[in-house]
Structure 1
Amino acid sequence: MDSSKAEPDQIVQDPSLNALETEKDIKDSPESAALECASKEKGSIEIESTKPDGEANEGEVMPNSLKLTYVTELLMNNIYYDTDVSIDSHTIQLLTDGFMAKFLPSLQKAKSTIDQIKNSQSVLIETVSQEISKFTECHALKDLDKTMAKAKLYQSKLMKLRKEMTNLHEKSRKLKKRALKLQQQKQKEELTRAHNLEKEYEKERMLTARLAPASE
């Protein structure tokens, strides 16, 4: 009875050994190998991205989009080239869904932020254009005011010149009138003098005619 009971007890395996074998099988599976390789590559890229600018290989940090593309390419390369086992489409779909679920929300948020920035930029450009048009109109009004001020100044100068010309014309008319009056007065004086001379000559002639018979 004791020997018959001992044989089944020897056949039963240790549960801890089964757990270790299961964990070893999971670690040796192609899915875990691909994920581990991709995580190592991603970790190395993140470490390189945290280096200072002076320690970078090319002098510039790789953008996030390029990092994601590079990690995806490494993952796919490790899946299809570094491993000799085949991965089913369900696993690839799960990896793709996980990747999209991790990075798609941030990309959508970045896209919405960029759209908001574009809208704000368009509003700002329109506002600046309106302000520029206002300044242009303001400068045009200033130029119009300057032109009107110049027109008023030139009009006042023209009125002043017209007044001076009127005064000169009046003075010229008065001078002509005075010259004519002086000329007439001079002619009258000459006529009076000639008439007086003629009278004196007539008196002398008559006096001479009277003295001539008396002397005889």
Structure 2
Amino acid sequence: MMTDLEKSGAMEVPLKTEKQLSKNVIDFSEATEKLAEGLLSIYQSPLEQVKQELFELTNKQETLLAQMQLENKRIHETFEDIDLNDMFSAVKIYQGKLAVIRKEMINIHERTSKLKKRVLRLQQIKKKESINREQQREQELRKEQELIGKSTIN
């Protein structure tokens, strides 16, 4: 345990150090103010410009967000519109029917083209046959006239 003398000596030591510290302490408050003012003068204008740009950016983003929400609402309303959905269903059905009709028309066109070619061939054949028949009749008439001519001469 400590004696009174040791206690008083121990108390004097810390007191001396505090006194010495207070004598050695320089007032930094003015230096800190000047340092803060210097830093502010350097960085204040760019930071204010960045602050202004960020403010404009957030305003534009809010405007775009509002527009996107409105457009999204319109799209959802459009999808929920029963009449419009029915109309799209009808359009799909009619497109299918149109495709079938188109195929049928192409098929009919091909068949009519083939029939026209066949008709032309048949007409040519009939024409040749009628020409041949006509020639045969003329030949028969000539033969008859020759026979008639010979019989009258006899």
* TM class by smaller structure: 0.3 to 0.5
- Higher relative CO (CA 8 A, sep ≥ 6), structure 1 or 2? 1
TM-score by length of 2: 0.43
Which structure would you say has the larger Rg?
1
Normalising by structure 1, report the TM-score: 0.33
